């Protein structure tokens, strides 16, 4: 599908990129190649595949046609070189860290990242002599001050960030990173490639939790790494193969099924989110609302510049702080009280006690993840039903 890869629009790529170039029976969906290993016609062919002289599949941990179809599709949506699908979003993140950080090296990251991303750096990679500094990456000066040359190797940015929705200027940080010979990695999970393509803005690597918008149906866990070039791909791919955090063909097939409607789902969900954010902003029980599309959002202007839309994540605080928030979470009927995000169904959760509970309170609060913050992932239901549900739950607050 090479001819589709570059010129096509994202809605076309989501449906066609990665489809098998030579269908076996004329199938219009990619088959599930549920096999752990691939036979060779001869001993010489096996040796040639292992040495890289000949293209072809060997063993599913190293590559598989169904998984490759998904990798090609997402790489095409990101306008990247190639993708590497992983068992989870966390496997994508840890594989990139394993490939790019050595003993004694240092990384700078966004303070308000998905909790376990920060914990894996601060608690697990620190056991191997890797240090990290998590700062407000929406402020360029703060990043600059956190860089510790010659030890710093990477800048790791999550934008929009989970769950504060703070936005980092990818182009500006890429310039800063490259001026200091550092690599910029962007977790693009909250935006999806439909709304933001970090590689086009100068990032070196993009990672996703495919569990979220790209799959979009809250039924699969998965991740992907997309690099801007061959050199980085060749550096990371052997690490992924060796450490083994790879994807399964059935998992890949489900995500391929989900990604085909990504642009449609994003369009509907973000329309709902924009309307819900205005509704919340004017609600008597709501104290504050974070939504990138609101002109009062501190980095609205950056989001407008680097994104094609403002997405469907909202965080907000209500009267009576956490007690009020608990009343909302316990009284919604249509919104589901659950972690995760990016599915067709709307979800509500409390980051301080759930997704970000593993981050120590002091770090959490300095990153803006206050106890009163409630996060919603707005889905594709009818707007009026979503609005009425939140309204009745908010009115339960005394
Ligand atoms: N990156 C971001 C921005 C995430 O939100 C998540 C998971 C991950 C990476 C990790 O991906 P996973 O391994 O779960 O596929 N975020 C979650 C959340 O906010 N609630 O539950 C999971």
Ligand 1 atom nearest residue 190's Cα: 3
Burial of 241 (0-12, 13-18, 19+ CB in 10 A): middle
390 pLDDT more than 90: yes
For residues 245-267, give the mean pLDDT.
Answer: 98
Ligand 1 mean position to 40 CA, how many Å? 38
Amino acid 149: pLDDT: 97
- For residues 333 and 204, what is the distance between their CA atoms, to the nearest angstrom? 42
- % of the chain residues with pLDDT over 90: 96
The dotted CATH code for 10-259 is 3.40.640.10
- Per-residue model confidence as pLDDT tens digits over 76-96: 999 999 999 999 999 999 999
Q: What sign for the dihedral angle of Cα 100, 103, 109, 115?
A: positive
133 falls in which pLDDT band (50, 70, 90)?
A: very high
Choice among 136, 187, 204, 248 that is catalytic: 187
Retrieve residue 350's tokens.
């409390």
Retrieve residue 253's tokens.
């097939």
Boundaries of every domain in the chain: 10-259, 262-394
- Per-residue model confidence as pLDDT tens digits over 167-189: 999 999 999 999 999 999 999 99
Q: How many CA atoms lie within 13 A of 362 on its CB side?
A: 0
- Per-residue model confidence as pLDDT tens digits over 60-78: 999 999 999 999 999 999 9
Choice among 49, 212, 268, 285 that is catalytic: 212
For residues 329-347, give the mean pLDDT.
Answer: 97
Amino acid 3: pLDDT: 46
Q: Is 61 a catalytic residue?
A: yes
2 pLDDT more than 80: no
Choice among 10, 68, 82, 114 that is catalytic: 114
pTM of the model: 0.97
Using CB distances shorter than 6 Å, the residues near ligand 1 are 88-90, 114, 158, 162, 187, 189-190, 209, 211, 221, 223, 339-341, 355
5 pLDDT more than 50: no
Q: Which of 311, 209, 205 is nearest to 263 (CA)?
A: 311
CATH class of domain segment(s) 262-394: alpha beta
Amino acid 398: pLDDT: 93
145 pLDDT more than 80: yes
Angle, vertex CA 76, rays to CA 74 and CA 80, nearest 5: 95
Ligand 1 mean position to 47 CA, how many Å? 39
């Amino acid at each position: 599908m090479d001819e589709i890869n570059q010129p096509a629009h994202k809605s076309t790529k989501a449906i066609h990129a990665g489809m098998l170039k030579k269908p076996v029976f004329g199938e219009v969906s990619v088959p599930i190649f549920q096999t752990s290993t691939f036979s060779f016609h001869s001993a010489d062919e096996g040796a040639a595949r292992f040495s890289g002289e000949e293209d072809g599949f060997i063993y599913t941990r190293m590559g598989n046609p169904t998984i490759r179809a998904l990798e090609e599709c997402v790489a095409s949506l990101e306008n990247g070189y190639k993708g590497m699908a992983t068992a989870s979003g966390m496997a994508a993140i840890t594989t990139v860290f394993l490939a790019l950080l050595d003993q004694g090296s240092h990384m700078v990251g966004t303070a308000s990242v998905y909790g376990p991303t920060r914990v894996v750096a601060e608690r697990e990679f620190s056991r191997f002599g890797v240090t990290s500094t998590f700062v407000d990456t929406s402020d360029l000066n703060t990043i600059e001050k956190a860089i510790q040359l010659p030890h710093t190797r990477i800048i790791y940015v999550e934008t929009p960030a989970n769950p504060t929705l703070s936005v980092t200027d990818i182009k500006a940080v890429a310039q800063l990173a490259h001026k200091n010979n550092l690599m910029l990695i962007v977790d693009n999970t909250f935006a999806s490639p439909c709304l933001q393509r970090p590689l086009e803005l100068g990032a070196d690597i993009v990672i996703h939790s495919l569990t979220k918008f790209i799959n979009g149906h809250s039924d699969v866990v998965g991740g992907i790494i997309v690099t801007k070039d061959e050199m980085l791909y060749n550096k990371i791919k052997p690490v992924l193969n060796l450490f083994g955090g790879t994807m399964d063909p059935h998992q890949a097939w489900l995500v391929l099924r989900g990604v085909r409607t990504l642009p449609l789902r994003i369009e509907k969900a973000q329309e709902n989110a924009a309307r819900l954010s205005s509704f919340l902003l004017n609600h008597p029980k709501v104290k504050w609302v974070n939504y990138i599309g609101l002109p009062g959002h501190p980095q609205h202007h950056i989001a407008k510049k680097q994104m094609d839309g403002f997405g469907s994540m909202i965080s907000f605080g209500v009267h009576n702080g956490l007690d009020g928030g608990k009343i909302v979470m316990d009284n919604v009927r249509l919104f589901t009280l659950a972690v995760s995000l990016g599915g067709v169904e709307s979800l509500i959760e409390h980051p301080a006690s759930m997704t970000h509970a593993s981050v120590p309170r002091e770090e959490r609060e300095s990153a803006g993840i206050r106890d009163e913050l409630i996060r919603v992932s707005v889905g594709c239901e009818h707007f009026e039903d979503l609005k009425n549900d939140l309204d009745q739950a908010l009115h339960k607050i005394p």
